[in-house]
Amino acid sequence: MDKNIRLLYPTLLLSVFVIATCGILYELLLSSISSYFLGNSILQFSITIGLFMFFMGVGSYLSKYFEDNIIDVFVNIEIILGFLGGISALTLYFAYAFTLHYYIYNVLFIGFLGTFVGIEIPLVVRIINQYSSLKETIAKVLSFDYVGALVASLVFPLLLLPKMGIFKTAFLIGILNLFVAFANTLFFKEYIKAFKLKMGVIFTLIVVFFGGIYFSDIYTHPLEQKVFRDPIIFKKHTLYQDLVMTRRNNDYRLYINGSIQFSSTDEYRYHESLVNFPMAAAVSHEKILILGGGDGLAIKEILKYPDVKEIHLVDLDPEMTKLGLNNEIFKRLNKNSMHDSRVLIFNEDAFNFVQNSSEIYSVVIIDLPDPNNTGLGKLYSTEFYQLLSGRMAKDGVMITQATSPYFAREAYWCIYHTIGEAFEHPVAFNADVPSFGIWGFVMAGKGLDHLERTDSTALTQRLIKRMEKYQIFDSTRYLNHNMIPRMLIFPEDMDEVPTKINKISTQTLVDYYLQSAGNWQ
C-alpha cells in the first residue's frame, strides 16, 4: 500500500463512522421533534424510523446509477446532507408555528435525508473496494457503521439533546457531514470537480452553522415562543422531557413536551380535588405517596392535614423536582412545601419504585401526565394498580388524575374500569378546571369497598364530615359543602361507557387517548 493509499484508506473508514453516526442522529432528531409537537413518542419514533429506513433502501437502490467519479458524487451527497440536516430543526419549527402542514414538511425531510443517507454507504463501499478485497471492505465498513450507530444512540439522549437542545444539535450534525465532505474533498482533490467552489460552499455552511449554534438564543426564543400562547420565562431540555414555563400578567403556566400541566390561576381547583378527596376518605394520614407532582402543588394541599408524618414524592425527572424546590415562582405557588422536613424526594421511575418498595402507605396520590405514550400507559395498567394495592394499608385510599371525561371519554372510563380490576367499587368524580376543561379523577381503596359510585350519599357525607374535622373548607377556594356532591355527577355526554381494560401488553388506554386527543388540541 503506497503512501497515498495509506492516507486515503483511514479517511474513508473514518468517514463511514461519522456518516453512520449522523444517519442515526437524524432519525432520533426528527423523531424527537415530532414527539414534541404531536405527542405519542412511540408512534412518532416508529413512523420516523420506518420511513427513514424505507428511504434509505430507495437511496441504496439509486446508488447503482452513479457510475462515474463516485468520489465526487459522495462529496456532493455529504454537502447536501449537511445542509438539509443542519436546517431541519429550524425548518420544522417554522412549519409547525406558521403553517398547517407540519407533517408534510416532516415527511419531506425524512424522505430526502433517508434517501441521501442510503446512497452514502454503497458509494463508500465501492470507493474502499478499490484499495482492499471485497471481503475486507464489507467487514470494515459494516463494523465502523455499527459502531457509529451505537455512539449516536448513546450521545443523543445523554448529551446532545439535554445539553444542546434541538436546534444546536441539528446544526452540529450538519457540521459533521460537512467535515466529511471537507476531508474527502481535500484528500481526493484530484477527483473533485469544481474544487474551489465546493470548498467555498463547505466552508460557508460550516461558518453559518457554527454561527447558528453560537447565536441560537437570539432566534430560538422567538421561534419557540410562537408555539406557546404566552411569553416564555423559563425553558429547559432535560434527559426526559422539555420543560417550559410561560407568564401572562399573573398567570404562570407549566408545559411538559408542549402539553400544559397547570395554570396558576386555577391549579387550586385541580389540586384541591386531587388531594382532599382521598385525604378526607382515608382513616389515617401517617404516610403519603405521591407519584409525579414534582411541582410541589399537591404537597401544599397535603400539609393542611397536621397528622401527616411522612410524604414520599416520586418524580422521574430531577430537573422537575429542582424547579419545585428552588425556583422562586414554584416556591411561591407551592408555599415552599417541598422543603418541609416530612418530605422525601425520590427521582425514580414510578413503576419501579412501587415494584421494589416495601413501604405501606395510607394514601397514594397519582399526579402523572396523561397516558399519551406506552411509557406512561403502563402507569395506568392493571399490573400497576395491582402492585399499588400491595403497597397500601388495609384501609388505605388511592387516587389518580384520569384525563377529561368530556374530551377523552373512553380513555377516562378505561382508567376507571382498569382500576376496578384491582380495587372494588372505584369512585369516579370530576372537577371544572378552566385551563384544562372538565377534568376527571378516580379514587379507590380498601377503605371504600362498600361505597358504590351510584350510591354516593354515604361517601359525600363522609368526605364533608372529615373535611370539616380538619377545617379544610376554611382554606379551599373551590371545594365546599355544595360542590362535593355535584362532582360525583356525570352528565349524559360524560357518563360511563363500556371500554376494554388497559394492560401493559395491550396498551388499550393509549389508543383511546390518542383517538380523542384532537378534541382539545
Contact 365, 501 (CB under 8 A): no
Q: Element (H or E) spanning 400, and its range?
A: strand 392-401
Q: Is 294 helix (H, G, I), strand (E, B) or coil?
A: coil
d(CA 169, CA 150): 17
Give Cα separations from 93 to 53, 107, 184, 256, 422 (angstroms).
Answer: 23, 14, 32, 17, 43
Query: Does the annotation mark 367 as catalytic?
Result: yes
**Contact predicate 240/318, CB 8 Å:** no
Distance CA 14, CA 183 (A): 10
Query: How far apart are alpha carbons 472 and 285 in whole angstroms?
Result: 15
- Of 463, 518, 519, whose CA–CA distance to 486 is shortest? 463
Cell output for 142: 459494516
Question: What does the alpha-carbon distance between residue 487 and residue 506 come to, in Å, rounded to a whole number?
Answer: 31
Q: Which residues contact 308 (CB under 8 A, 6 or more apart)?
A: 285, 286, 288, 302, 342
Report the candidate in 411, 321, 342 with the shortest Cα–Cα distance to residue 371: 411
Q: Report in angstroms the alpha-carbon separations of 358 from 287, 344, 350, 388.
A: 13, 15, 14, 11
- Measured distance CA(413)–CA(411) in Å, rounded: 6
Q: Which amino acid is at 73?
A: V
C-alpha cell at 300: 401544599
Query: Where does 129-215 have alpha helices with state H?
Result: 134-155, 161-187, 195-214
- Give the SS3 label for residue 253: strand
The DSSP output letter for 370 is: P
Q: In this structure, are residues 410 and 499 in contact, taking their beta carbons and an 8 Å threshold? A: yes
Considering the candidates 295, 367, 370, 511, report the single residue annotated as catalytic.
367
Selection from 331, 330, 370, 325 nearest residue 347 by Cα: 325
Neighbours of 179 (CB within 10 A): 16
Cell numbers 371519554 correspond to 409
Q: Which residues contact 32 (CB under 8 A, 6 or more apart)?
A: 161, 166
- Residue type at 194? A
If one counts every other C-beta atom within 10 angstroms of the C-beta of residue 13, the result is 16
Round to whole Å and give the CA distance between 510 and 498: 16
Q: Which active-site residues does the annotation give?
A: 367
